[in-house]
Amino acid sequence: MADIPLQRWDAAGYARNARFVAEHGLAVLDLLAPRAGECVLDVGCGDGALSREIERLGAAVVGVDSSPELVAVAKTAGLDARLIDAHEMAFSVEFDAVFTNAALHWMRDPTRVLDAVARALRPGGRFVGEFGGHGNVAAIRTALAAVLTERGFAVASPWYFPTVEEFAKLLQSHGFAIDAIALVPRPTALPTGLRGWLDTFAHPFVARLDAAQRAEVLAAVTDLLSPILCDSEDNWTADYVRLRFSATLT
């Protein structure tokens, strides 16, 4: 996957088009159940919206993210946010829990990430999170592939969307006992429509196209998906499937 362009993040665009990510992540915080006095690592903290919620519940939080733009926003909010690629985390037995929301599916080598997570946790520590699972945004991925292929452009997905069985084996191989794991179908309303979603999340698919080609591809994808994901009142809903898990380091 080394030749796939990396995702790029625009903080203002993310806040405008993807605030639903943090809103839906509140349910995962309930699974984490942070306690006062705990120290929690938020992997892929983004602009820190959920890190702030964890702090509000009384835990200390360190957030890490690979986006300079999003880390800058989190720092402005007063968070301990650090510009660190999750594959390169070097924490050692420092945290009571590791939390992650909507981030693991962007990470190219999940084995390395889980190596780092396991090192960061104290014995008995919790690893709780949610990310794209098998079948996530299947219609959108299919449309992107169809439109790009039709025009002779290469297609390579940047995302890791495992099955429950695949991710459970990965957790267990890193010394985790699984407390809960499931795929959660979650049709998700897109507040700025499919085009806002594509502008925010589909950069790796179109990064090598020029501006005119990119506009043509995204318009064609939108037209193709309109009968499937858009209702009669122009409300768009994406076919999200999330993998939600809770595990304990043994």
Domain assignment of residue 99, yes or no:
yes
According to DSSP, residue 230 is labeled B
Domain assignment of residue 151, yes or no:
no
Domain assignment of residue 145, yes or no:
no
Domain of residue 68, CATH code: 3.40.50.150
Closest by CA to 7, choosing from 135, 132, 165, is 132
For residues 13 and 113, give the distance between their C-alpha atoms in angstroms, rounded to a whole number.
27
Using a pLDDT cut of 70, give the percent of the chain over it: 99
Number of domains composing the chain:
1
Domain assignment of residue 46, yes or no:
yes
Structure tokens at 24: 């839906």
Domain assignment of residue 142, yes or no:
no
For residues 250 and 241, give the distance between their C-alpha atoms in angstroms, rounded to a whole number.
28
Domain assignment of residue 201, yes or no:
no
Using a pLDDT cut of 90, give the percent of the chain over it: 88
> For 24-58, how does the pLDDT look when each residue is reduced to its tens digit (9 = 90+)?
888 899 999 999 999 999 999 999 999 999 999 99
Mean of pLDDT over the chain: 95
Residue 104 has pLDDT above 80, yes or no: yes
| Per-residue model confidence (pLDDT) at position 1 | 44
- What is the domain range of residue 83? 11-137+159-190+239-249
For residues 19 and 10, give the distance between their C-alpha atoms in angstroms, rounded to a whole number.
13
Domain assignment of residue 125, yes or no:
yes
> For 123-178, how does the pLDDT look when each residue is reduced to its tens digit (9 = 90+)?
999 999 999 999 999 999 999 999 999 999 999 889 999 999 999 999 999 999 99
| Per-residue model confidence (pLDDT) at position 21 | 86
For residues 203 and 130, give the distance between their C-alpha atoms in angstroms, rounded to a whole number.
22
Closest by CA to 184, choosing from 75, 248, 101, 127, is 101
pTM recorded for the entire structure: 0.94
Domain assignment of residue 44, yes or no:
yes
Q: Contact 35/59 with Cβ under 8 angstroms? A: yes
Question: In Å, what is the CA distance from 57 to each residue of 71, 186, 188?
Answer: 21, 26, 27
Residue 107 has pLDDT above 60, yes or no: yes
